[in-house]
Structure 1
């Protein structure tokens, strides 16, 4: 083995071991637990552990609360992903504009929510959306509008939570898009403008092909993140009102750490992993079709 190969192994093996310990082993453990009735009694005595095969999955698919959580999660993803991608792309285009001054300042301000502590900012937003003392309802009262129970009414709980999630997360995608936009030639855009191409035509035929891979990356990450929404509803609404913000991950947490039904919780984790993997594959195929890869 050459010296260069040994150096390569020295750098690669720690990463592979770390991946094995924090990703492969836990995933395999969750898969094994999902076919058992591992619960608090098995924690006390491993001899109480029984193999149930697909029993957890059958019970899970017959649980109305699980399907309610799936519907809520799909609503979060269906509304949140386009909102997060759209706002981050618009912000990136504005910040990247040659007419905008103080670009580093704007990038810092818009990216700051992403790097702030999630629980702390969720608590702040919870106070902002409070029915009686919240800043938002105070502004509505000045305009003569009756206060809205943003987090206590099932009609508004998901939209109100989504506004916070999008505000918190869009900064990362914005930075990805800014990096991609920096590779688009200004000469090419100027040539398209001289040929009579409007703003939309330049965006569609010049900018979009250049930022396609970045758009795919942001979409894949956003879909995976919105399918794993947990902390925001846990802190802001505790899954309420009337379980209107219970997501799949919230349901998994409840099964695993409230009822100590760890076998069922592992089955939820496996199904969620499979769903994210499937959607990622579909997104990759769509990207290939539109020549984004």
Structure 2
């Protein structure tokens, strides 16, 4: 009996030691992550505003009223449309450019490959303020680099950031330029992880370059495509910096995003409504991520 009880006591001591070691993390997680998340969820069902911070017990519950109000808000619907537009166009374009650059580096560029990697990845780690300065110079209506080049061939370029038609495509182009480098690095790692014998077997069977890429390489890149599409999609659904820095949501709310409008509502002191908008975006992100896993999972 004594021998049987010793392992049990040792296991109990090890469990106690493990809990003592993880206790600081658990306390910090509850205090700074789980607590605020649950608190904000509760706020989304109340009419709390900035003035209520001094008298929190005067806050009233409104049920799903904030969620209904969000969907009834014309500006919020416009922001949702803009965000969907940004994601539907921006994510595939980013992945295509990133995959093309990865294939070029893996198959075509042999010399100075490291230099190209750094050059493509540099915008990812560059400050949005610096990027905004560059793109404002490029897209300036009168003296901008792009309109100057178009003028050389007789084309009168538009006011890219001041036009309701061209402001969002301009932000998408900037986002693709800024973000494709990280996806490119991941695609490059996936390409270099594919055995050379796979492509050689296809070549022996008479498959051309495009057939080998379409029917051999792309299926083997499915996990990489899934990862990059999920991470890029989540980032683009939350896009905020581009319109905030470049257009302030204009012109006429044509570039305002859900994240930016939620931020504005927090600034206006409408905390209950803002948290409801944030949770609507969270649910959308979760649903789209689930769909991506269903469509792109390995078969």
Query: Structure 1 length normalisation: TM-score?
Result: 0.91
Within the candidate set 62, 67, 90, 1:52 is matched to 62
Q: What is the number of residues matched between the two proteins?
A: 289
Larger Rg: 2
Does the CA-based 8 Å contact 1:30-1:270 persist in structure 2? no
Q: Could you report, residue by residue, the CA deviation over 1:2-53 in whole angstroms, capped at 9, with x for unpaired residues? A: 6987897687666655554554333222211101111111123323322211
| Runs of 4 or more above 4 Å deviation | 1-22
Deviation at 1:127, TM superposition (A): 2.4
Give the match's secondary structure for 1:155.
Answer: coil
Within 5 Å, which residues of 2 pair with 1:233-244?
233-244=243-254
Within the candidate set 251, 275, 291, 1:266 is matched to 275
Does the alignment pair 1:63 with 2:60? no
Within the candidate set 246, 257, 268, 2:256 is matched to 246
The structure-2 alpha-carbon separation of the partners of 1:91 and 1:42, relative to structure 1 and needing over 3 Å to count, comes to same
* Residue 155 of structure 1: aligned partner: 165
Structure 2: segments with no counterpart, 5+ residues = 1-9
* Residue 112 of structure 1: aligned partner: 122
The structure-2 alpha-carbon separation of the partners of 1:5 and 1:59, relative to structure 1 and needing over 3 Å to count, comes to same
Give the match's secondary structure for 2:182.
Answer: helix
Q: Which moved more, 1:191-200 or 1:110-119?
A: 191-200
Within the candidate set 129, 142, 158, 2:152 is matched to 142
Q: 1:241 and 1:168 mapped to 2: Cα distance? A: 22
Q: 1:55 and 1:141 mapped to 2: Cα distance? A: 53
Q: 2:23 and 2:217 mapped to 1: Cα distance? A: 40
* Residue 198 of structure 1: aligned partner: 208
Structure 1: segments with no counterpart, 5+ residues = none
Within the candidate set 28, 33, 36, 2:38 is matched to 28
Give the match's secondary structure for 1:207.
Answer: helix
Does the alignment pair 1:284 with 2:293? yes
